[in-house]
Structure 1
Amino acid sequence: MIANSDNLNLTPDEYLSFEEKSDIKHEYRQGEIYAMAGASNNHVLITVNMATLLRNHLRGKGCLTYISDTKVRIDPLNTYYYPDITVSCDERDRNLTQYICYPCLIIEVLSDSTEAFDRGDKFADYRQLQSLQEYVLISQKTKRIDTFLINEQGQWMLSSHDENDPLILKTINFSCLVSEIYEDITFQSVS
Protein backbone atom coordinates (compact mmCIF):
# COMPACT_ATOMS: atom_id res chain seq x y z
CA MET A 1 0.00 0.00 0.00
CA ILE A 2 1.29 3.47 -0.76
CA ALA A 3 0.58 6.46 1.41
CA ASN A 4 -1.76 8.36 -0.90
CA SER A 5 -5.38 7.30 -1.10
CA ASP A 6 -7.36 7.73 -4.29
CA ASN A 7 -9.91 9.46 -1.99
CA LEU A 8 -12.84 7.34 -3.07
CA ASN A 9 -15.09 6.18 -0.26
CA LEU A 10 -16.39 2.85 -1.51
CA THR A 11 -18.36 0.03 0.01
CA PRO A 12 -16.65 -3.39 -0.14
CA ASP A 13 -18.94 -4.44 -3.01
CA GLU A 14 -18.17 -1.24 -4.92
CA TYR A 15 -14.46 -1.82 -4.36
CA LEU A 16 -14.61 -5.41 -5.64
CA SER A 17 -16.53 -4.28 -8.73
CA PHE A 18 -14.09 -1.39 -9.29
CA GLU A 19 -11.09 -3.68 -8.84
CA GLU A 20 -12.36 -6.20 -11.41
CA LYS A 21 -12.31 -3.48 -14.08
CA SER A 22 -9.16 -1.64 -12.99
CA ASP A 23 -5.89 -1.88 -14.93
CA ILE A 24 -3.93 -1.52 -11.70
CA LYS A 25 -4.35 -3.18 -8.31
CA HIS A 26 -5.67 -1.28 -5.29
CA GLU A 27 -5.75 -2.26 -1.66
CA TYR A 28 -8.88 -1.30 0.28
CA ARG A 29 -8.90 -0.11 3.87
CA GLN A 30 -12.14 0.96 5.53
CA GLY A 31 -13.67 2.60 2.48
CA GLU A 32 -10.54 4.06 0.91
CA ILE A 33 -8.54 2.56 -1.94
CA TYR A 34 -4.78 2.77 -2.40
CA ALA A 35 -3.03 2.18 -5.71
CA MET A 36 -0.32 -0.46 -5.59
CA ALA A 37 3.14 0.54 -6.73
CA GLY A 38 5.14 -1.65 -9.09
CA ALA A 39 7.77 -4.01 -7.70
CA SER A 40 11.51 -4.14 -8.31
CA ASN A 41 13.04 -7.12 -10.09
CA ASN A 42 14.55 -8.34 -6.82
CA HIS A 43 11.13 -8.15 -5.18
CA VAL A 44 9.64 -10.27 -7.96
CA LEU A 45 12.48 -12.82 -7.92
CA ILE A 46 12.34 -13.22 -4.13
CA THR A 47 8.57 -13.71 -4.35
CA VAL A 48 8.91 -16.28 -7.15
CA ASN A 49 11.64 -18.17 -5.30
CA MET A 50 9.63 -18.33 -2.08
CA ALA A 51 6.32 -19.18 -3.78
CA THR A 52 7.97 -21.95 -5.80
CA LEU A 53 9.52 -23.51 -2.70
CA LEU A 54 6.19 -23.35 -0.88
CA ARG A 55 4.14 -24.68 -3.80
CA ASN A 56 6.47 -27.64 -4.23
CA HIS A 57 6.40 -28.37 -0.50
CA LEU A 58 2.59 -28.11 -0.21
CA ARG A 59 1.64 -30.03 -3.34
CA GLY A 60 -0.90 -32.71 -2.41
CA LYS A 61 -1.14 -31.62 1.25
CA GLY A 62 -4.45 -29.72 1.08
CA CYS A 63 -2.89 -26.26 1.28
CA LEU A 64 -2.70 -23.73 -1.54
CA THR A 65 -0.06 -21.08 -2.22
CA TYR A 66 -1.32 -17.78 -3.63
CA ILE A 67 0.77 -14.95 -5.04
CA SER A 68 0.27 -11.20 -5.14
CA ASP A 69 -2.81 -11.18 -7.36
CA THR A 70 -4.95 -12.77 -4.63
CA LYS A 71 -6.56 -10.46 -2.10
CA VAL A 72 -6.99 -11.30 1.58
CA ARG A 73 -10.20 -10.05 3.12
CA ILE A 74 -10.06 -8.94 6.75
CA ASP A 75 -13.78 -8.84 7.46
CA PRO A 76 -13.74 -7.29 10.97
CA LEU A 77 -11.81 -4.30 9.59
CA ASN A 78 -13.55 -3.88 6.23
CA THR A 79 -10.14 -4.28 4.56
CA TYR A 80 -8.59 -6.09 1.58
CA TYR A 81 -4.85 -6.46 1.03
CA TYR A 82 -2.71 -8.09 -1.67
CA PRO A 83 0.04 -9.95 0.23
CA ASP A 84 3.05 -11.04 -1.79
CA ILE A 85 2.44 -14.69 -0.84
CA THR A 86 -0.40 -16.28 1.09
CA VAL A 87 -0.99 -19.88 2.14
CA SER A 88 -4.42 -21.21 3.01
CA CYS A 89 -5.21 -24.71 4.22
CA ASP A 90 -8.88 -23.90 4.81
CA GLU A 91 -11.47 -25.51 2.52
CA ARG A 92 -13.68 -22.41 2.76
CA ASP A 93 -11.16 -20.42 0.72
CA ARG A 94 -11.41 -22.86 -2.22
CA ASN A 95 -14.97 -21.71 -2.93
CA LEU A 96 -14.08 -18.00 -3.05
CA THR A 97 -13.21 -16.39 -6.38
CA GLN A 98 -12.16 -12.77 -5.70
CA TYR A 99 -10.28 -13.12 -2.43
CA ILE A 100 -9.52 -15.48 0.43
CA CYS A 101 -10.45 -15.06 4.11
CA TYR A 102 -8.67 -17.82 6.05
CA PRO A 103 -4.91 -17.72 5.44
CA CYS A 104 -2.63 -19.46 7.93
CA LEU A 105 0.56 -17.86 6.55
CA ILE A 106 1.17 -14.43 4.99
CA ILE A 107 4.50 -13.32 3.51
CA GLU A 108 5.46 -9.79 2.52
CA VAL A 109 8.63 -8.81 0.67
CA LEU A 110 9.72 -5.48 2.11
CA SER A 111 10.47 -2.37 0.10
CA ASP A 112 11.50 1.12 1.22
CA SER A 113 8.01 2.50 0.59
CA THR A 114 6.12 -0.29 2.40
CA GLU A 115 8.36 -1.59 5.19
CA ALA A 116 7.03 0.62 8.00
CA PHE A 117 3.41 -0.13 7.03
CA ASP A 118 4.06 -3.88 6.61
CA ARG A 119 5.68 -4.06 10.05
CA GLY A 120 3.14 -1.77 11.73
CA ASP A 121 -0.47 -1.12 10.76
CA LYS A 122 -0.69 -3.89 8.16
CA PHE A 123 0.59 -6.50 10.61
CA ALA A 124 -1.87 -5.19 13.22
CA ASP A 125 -4.65 -5.58 10.64
CA TYR A 126 -3.54 -9.09 9.67
CA ARG A 127 -3.59 -10.11 13.33
CA GLN A 128 -7.40 -9.69 13.21
CA LEU A 129 -7.52 -12.83 11.06
CA GLN A 130 -8.35 -15.72 13.40
CA SER A 131 -6.76 -18.19 10.98
CA LEU A 132 -3.38 -16.45 10.73
CA GLN A 133 -0.62 -18.30 12.57
CA GLU A 134 2.56 -17.00 10.94
CA TYR A 135 3.67 -13.73 9.33
CA VAL A 136 6.93 -13.44 7.40
CA LEU A 137 8.82 -10.33 6.31
CA ILE A 138 11.56 -10.77 3.72
CA SER A 139 14.12 -8.02 3.20
CA GLN A 140 15.24 -7.18 -0.30
CA LYS A 141 18.14 -5.02 0.92
CA THR A 142 19.99 -7.80 2.74
CA LYS A 143 19.61 -11.53 3.25
CA ARG A 144 17.41 -11.34 6.33
CA ILE A 145 13.98 -12.74 7.08
CA ASP A 146 11.83 -12.02 10.15
CA THR A 147 9.14 -14.49 11.11
CA PHE A 148 6.34 -13.92 13.60
CA LEU A 149 4.67 -17.03 14.99
CA ILE A 150 1.70 -16.94 17.32
CA ASN A 151 2.22 -19.09 20.42
CA GLU A 152 -0.30 -20.93 22.58
CA GLN A 153 -0.78 -17.83 24.75
CA GLY A 154 -1.75 -15.75 21.70
CA GLN A 155 1.53 -13.80 21.66
CA TRP A 156 3.43 -13.16 18.44
CA MET A 157 7.03 -14.32 18.78
CA LEU A 158 9.75 -12.87 16.53
CA SER A 159 12.61 -14.90 15.04
CA SER A 160 15.20 -13.42 12.69
CA HIS A 161 17.07 -15.48 10.11
CA ASP A 162 20.24 -14.50 8.25
CA GLU A 163 21.88 -15.77 5.06
CA ASN A 164 23.26 -19.07 6.40
CA ASP A 165 20.33 -19.87 8.69
CA PRO A 166 17.51 -22.26 8.01
CA LEU A 167 14.08 -20.71 7.61
CA ILE A 168 11.50 -22.82 9.43
CA LEU A 169 7.79 -22.15 8.98
CA LYS A 170 6.12 -24.24 11.66
CA THR A 171 2.59 -23.57 10.46
CA ILE A 172 3.13 -25.65 7.33
CA ASN A 173 6.08 -27.81 8.46
CA PHE A 174 8.42 -26.18 5.95
CA SER A 175 12.14 -25.50 6.02
CA CYS A 176 14.79 -24.27 3.60
CA LEU A 177 17.97 -22.25 3.74
CA VAL A 178 17.55 -18.49 3.68
CA SER A 179 20.05 -18.45 0.80
CA GLU A 180 17.59 -20.44 -1.36
CA ILE A 181 15.08 -17.60 -1.17
CA TYR A 182 17.74 -15.17 -2.41
CA GLU A 183 18.85 -17.31 -5.35
CA ASP A 184 19.81 -15.11 -8.34
CA ILE A 185 19.41 -11.88 -6.33
CA THR A 186 21.92 -9.11 -6.95
CA PHE A 187 22.11 -6.49 -4.23
CA GLN A 188 22.89 -2.88 -5.07
CA SER A 189 26.27 -1.83 -3.75
CA VAL A 190 26.22 1.16 -1.44
CA SER A 191 28.79 3.82 -2.41
Structure 2
Amino acid sequence: MISTISRRYSLDEYRAIEEKAEGRSEYRDGEIVPMPGGMLKHSRIGRNILTYFTSVMRDTQFEPINSDLRLWIPEHRRGVYPDVMVFDGEPQLNGDVYDKPQERLRLDEVLNPVLIVEVLSPSTADYDQLSKFRMYRSIPSFSEYLLVEQDEPFIERYSKQAQGWLLSDFSGLEVSISLDSVSIELPMAEIYGGVVFE
Protein backbone atom coordinates (compact mmCIF):
# COMPACT_ATOMS: atom_id res chain seq x y z
CA MET A 1 0.00 0.00 0.00
CA ILE A 2 1.48 3.33 -1.05
CA SER A 3 0.36 6.42 0.80
CA THR A 4 0.38 9.76 -0.98
CA ILE A 5 0.55 13.19 0.55
CA SER A 6 -1.46 15.82 -1.25
CA ARG A 7 -0.07 19.32 -1.09
CA ARG A 8 -2.02 21.98 0.79
CA TYR A 9 -1.81 25.60 -0.26
CA SER A 10 -2.16 28.80 1.70
CA LEU A 11 -4.64 31.36 0.46
CA ASP A 12 -1.79 33.60 -0.69
CA GLU A 13 -0.25 30.74 -2.68
CA TYR A 14 -3.59 29.95 -4.31
CA ARG A 15 -4.25 33.54 -5.23
CA ALA A 16 -0.78 33.97 -6.73
CA ILE A 17 -1.24 30.82 -8.82
CA GLU A 18 -4.75 31.81 -9.89
CA GLU A 19 -3.67 35.28 -11.06
CA LYS A 20 -1.27 33.71 -13.59
CA ALA A 21 -3.19 30.56 -14.49
CA GLU A 22 -4.69 30.06 -17.95
CA GLY A 23 -7.59 28.03 -16.53
CA ARG A 24 -9.56 28.54 -13.31
CA SER A 25 -9.36 26.54 -10.11
CA GLU A 26 -11.45 26.55 -6.97
CA TYR A 27 -9.90 26.89 -3.53
CA ARG A 28 -11.23 24.34 -1.01
CA ASP A 29 -9.67 25.10 2.36
CA GLY A 30 -6.09 24.35 1.30
CA GLU A 31 -6.79 22.32 -1.83
CA ILE A 32 -6.64 23.71 -5.36
CA VAL A 33 -9.17 21.98 -7.61
CA PRO A 34 -9.03 22.67 -11.38
CA MET A 35 -12.39 23.45 -12.96
CA PRO A 36 -13.36 21.55 -16.11
CA GLY A 37 -13.85 23.54 -19.30
CA GLY A 38 -17.39 24.29 -20.37
CA MET A 39 -19.17 22.81 -23.38
CA LEU A 40 -21.02 24.78 -26.07
CA LYS A 41 -24.50 24.34 -24.53
CA HIS A 42 -23.21 25.32 -21.10
CA SER A 43 -21.58 28.46 -22.51
CA ARG A 44 -24.66 29.47 -24.51
CA ILE A 45 -26.97 29.08 -21.54
CA GLY A 46 -24.68 31.09 -19.24
CA ARG A 47 -24.34 33.80 -21.88
CA ASN A 48 -28.11 33.91 -22.48
CA ILE A 49 -28.87 34.34 -18.79
CA LEU A 50 -26.24 37.03 -18.29
CA THR A 51 -27.36 38.92 -21.43
CA TYR A 52 -31.00 38.83 -20.36
CA PHE A 53 -30.19 39.93 -16.81
CA THR A 54 -27.98 42.76 -18.08
CA SER A 55 -30.78 44.01 -20.32
CA VAL A 56 -33.66 43.87 -17.83
CA MET A 57 -31.62 45.05 -14.83
CA ARG A 58 -30.30 48.14 -16.56
CA ASP A 59 -31.28 51.25 -14.57
CA THR A 60 -31.97 49.18 -11.43
CA GLN A 61 -29.87 48.64 -8.31
CA PHE A 62 -29.07 45.06 -9.42
CA GLU A 63 -25.84 44.07 -11.15
CA PRO A 64 -25.26 40.71 -12.87
CA ILE A 65 -21.68 39.39 -13.11
CA ASN A 66 -20.28 36.49 -15.14
CA SER A 67 -18.15 33.56 -14.04
CA ASP A 68 -14.82 35.43 -14.26
CA LEU A 69 -15.23 36.82 -10.74
CA ARG A 70 -14.49 34.63 -7.72
CA LEU A 71 -16.95 34.29 -4.86
CA TRP A 72 -15.27 33.89 -1.47
CA ILE A 73 -17.23 31.93 1.16
CA PRO A 74 -15.54 32.78 4.49
CA GLU A 75 -17.26 30.21 6.72
CA HIS A 76 -16.01 27.36 4.51
CA ARG A 77 -12.77 28.96 3.27
CA ARG A 78 -13.79 28.37 -0.33
CA GLY A 79 -13.21 30.36 -3.48
CA VAL A 80 -15.61 29.40 -6.30
CA TYR A 81 -16.74 30.71 -9.68
CA PRO A 82 -20.54 30.58 -10.09
CA ASP A 83 -21.79 30.79 -13.67
CA VAL A 84 -23.79 33.97 -12.93
CA MET A 85 -24.17 36.07 -9.77
CA VAL A 86 -26.43 39.06 -9.16
CA PHE A 87 -25.75 41.74 -6.56
CA ASP A 88 -28.19 44.14 -4.93
CA GLY A 89 -26.14 47.33 -5.05
CA GLU A 90 -22.37 47.41 -5.09
CA PRO A 91 -20.59 44.04 -4.80
CA GLN A 92 -18.79 43.75 -1.46
CA LEU A 93 -15.11 43.00 -1.98
CA ASN A 94 -13.25 40.56 0.25
CA GLY A 95 -11.02 42.27 2.79
CA ASP A 96 -8.76 39.25 3.39
CA VAL A 97 -10.34 38.67 6.79
CA TYR A 98 -8.28 35.52 7.40
CA ASP A 99 -4.75 36.28 6.26
CA LYS A 100 -4.20 40.02 6.47
CA PRO A 101 -7.02 41.73 8.36
CA GLN A 102 -7.93 45.17 7.06
CA GLU A 103 -4.79 45.36 4.92
CA ARG A 104 -6.57 45.76 1.59
CA LEU A 105 -9.60 44.81 -0.41
CA ARG A 106 -9.27 42.16 -3.09
CA LEU A 107 -10.59 43.23 -6.48
CA ASP A 108 -11.03 39.62 -7.61
CA GLU A 109 -13.19 38.25 -4.75
CA VAL A 110 -16.73 39.19 -3.78
CA LEU A 111 -18.88 38.22 -0.80
CA ASN A 112 -22.51 39.24 -1.20
CA PRO A 113 -24.57 37.90 -4.14
CA VAL A 114 -28.34 37.72 -3.68
CA LEU A 115 -28.87 35.35 -6.62
CA ILE A 116 -26.58 32.62 -7.92
CA VAL A 117 -27.05 30.62 -11.12
CA GLU A 118 -25.26 27.35 -11.85
CA VAL A 119 -25.56 25.61 -15.23
CA LEU A 120 -25.29 21.91 -14.46
CA SER A 121 -22.64 19.73 -16.09
CA PRO A 122 -22.45 15.94 -15.69
CA SER A 123 -19.13 16.24 -13.84
CA THR A 124 -20.27 18.92 -11.36
CA ALA A 125 -24.05 18.47 -10.98
CA ASP A 126 -23.93 16.64 -7.63
CA TYR A 127 -21.44 19.15 -6.21
CA ASP A 128 -23.57 22.13 -7.36
CA GLN A 129 -26.79 20.63 -5.99
CA LEU A 130 -25.48 19.48 -2.62
CA SER A 131 -22.13 20.63 -1.21
CA LYS A 132 -21.92 23.93 -3.01
CA PHE A 133 -25.51 24.87 -2.20
CA ARG A 134 -24.89 24.12 1.47
CA MET A 135 -21.88 26.45 1.40
CA TYR A 136 -23.76 29.16 -0.48
CA ARG A 137 -26.42 29.14 2.25
CA SER A 138 -23.83 30.47 4.72
CA ILE A 139 -23.74 33.77 2.77
CA PRO A 140 -26.08 36.22 4.57
CA SER A 141 -27.19 38.07 1.42
CA PHE A 142 -27.87 34.91 -0.63
CA SER A 143 -31.58 34.31 -1.12
CA GLU A 144 -32.17 32.59 -4.47
CA TYR A 145 -30.48 29.76 -6.38
CA LEU A 146 -31.10 28.50 -9.91
CA LEU A 147 -29.86 25.11 -11.11
CA VAL A 148 -30.13 24.99 -14.89
CA GLU A 149 -30.11 21.71 -16.83
CA GLN A 150 -28.37 21.90 -20.19
CA ASP A 151 -29.79 18.76 -21.86
CA GLU A 152 -33.47 19.68 -21.43
CA PRO A 153 -35.44 22.83 -20.56
CA PHE A 154 -35.63 22.22 -16.83
CA ILE A 155 -34.68 24.44 -13.88
CA GLU A 156 -34.78 24.03 -10.12
CA ARG A 157 -35.24 27.26 -8.18
CA TYR A 158 -34.54 27.49 -4.45
CA SER A 159 -35.81 30.59 -2.66
CA LYS A 160 -35.07 31.51 0.93
CA GLN A 161 -38.16 31.65 3.15
CA ALA A 162 -38.58 32.37 6.85
CA GLN A 163 -38.94 28.63 7.56
CA GLY A 164 -36.15 27.46 5.19
CA TRP A 165 -35.53 27.01 1.48
CA LEU A 166 -38.45 26.40 -0.89
CA LEU A 167 -37.90 24.32 -4.06
CA SER A 168 -39.86 25.00 -7.24
CA ASP A 169 -39.13 23.42 -10.60
CA PHE A 170 -39.87 24.64 -14.11
CA SER A 171 -40.07 22.63 -17.29
CA GLY A 172 -40.64 23.55 -20.94
CA LEU A 173 -39.82 26.59 -23.04
CA GLU A 174 -43.20 28.29 -22.64
CA VAL A 175 -42.97 29.09 -18.91
CA SER A 176 -41.24 31.89 -16.99
CA ILE A 177 -39.54 31.88 -13.60
CA SER A 178 -40.45 34.57 -11.10
CA LEU A 179 -37.26 35.67 -9.35
CA ASP A 180 -38.19 37.28 -6.05
CA SER A 181 -34.66 38.38 -5.12
CA VAL A 182 -34.39 40.67 -8.16
CA SER A 183 -38.10 41.28 -8.94
CA ILE A 184 -38.06 40.04 -12.55
CA GLU A 185 -39.50 37.26 -14.69
CA LEU A 186 -36.99 35.04 -16.48
CA PRO A 187 -38.51 33.29 -19.55
CA MET A 188 -37.24 29.77 -20.17
CA ALA A 189 -37.13 30.58 -23.89
CA GLU A 190 -34.54 33.28 -23.16
CA ILE A 191 -32.40 30.87 -21.16
CA TYR A 192 -32.35 28.21 -23.86
CA GLY A 193 -32.17 30.41 -26.99
CA GLY A 194 -29.93 28.78 -29.59
CA VAL A 195 -29.56 25.56 -27.57
CA VAL A 196 -30.16 22.34 -29.51
CA PHE A 197 -31.45 19.41 -27.47
CA GLU A 198 -30.42 15.93 -28.59
* Contact 1:146–1:161 under 8 Å retained in 2: yes
Aligned to 2:170: 161
Equivalenced residue count is 181
* Contact 1:19–1:26 under 8 Å retained in 2: yes
Aligned to 1:87: 86
* Contact 1:90–1:102 under 8 Å retained in 2: no
CA distance in 2, matches of 1:53, 1:105: 14
Q: TM-score, normalised by structure 1?
A: 0.90
* Contact 1:49–1:183 under 8 Å retained in 2: yes
Q: Does 1:102 align with 2:102?
A: no
CA distance in 2, matches of 1:170, 1:118: 21
Displaced runs of 4 or more, over 6 A? none
Residues 158-180 of structure 1: per-residue CA shift (max 9 Å, x gap): 01011122111110001032122
Aligned to 2:100: none
* Secondary structure, counterpart of 2:123 in structure 1: coil
* Contact 1:30–1:77 under 8 Å retained in 2: yes
- Aligned equivalent of 2:185, options 164, 168, 175: 175
Aligned to 1:25: 24
* Contact 1:90–1:103 under 8 Å retained in 2: no
Residues 51-91 of structure 1: per-residue CA shift (max 9 Å, x gap): 01111111121221111111100011110100000011243
Cα 1:135–1:35 change in 2 (3 A) is same
CA distance in 2, matches of 1:91, 1:114: 29
Q: TM-score, normalised by structure 2?
A: 0.87
CA distance in 2, matches of 1:121, 1:49: 26
Residues 73-112 of structure 1: per-residue CA shift (max 9 Å, x gap): 0011110100000011243526751111001010000011
CA distance in 1, matches of 2:89, 2:58: 15
| Structure 1 residues 17-56: aligned runs within 5 Å | 17-56=16-55
Q: Structure 2: where are the runs of 5+ without partners?
A: 1-5, 94-104
* Contact 2:179–2:186 under 8 Å retained in 1: no
Higher helix share: 1
Identity of aligned residues (%): 31
Which of the two has higher C-alpha Rg?
Answer: 2
Aligned to 2:194: 184
Q: Structure 1: where are the runs of 5+ without partners?
A: 1-6
Aligned to 2:151: 141
* Secondary structure, counterpart of 1:112 in structure 2: coil
Aligned to 2:71: 72
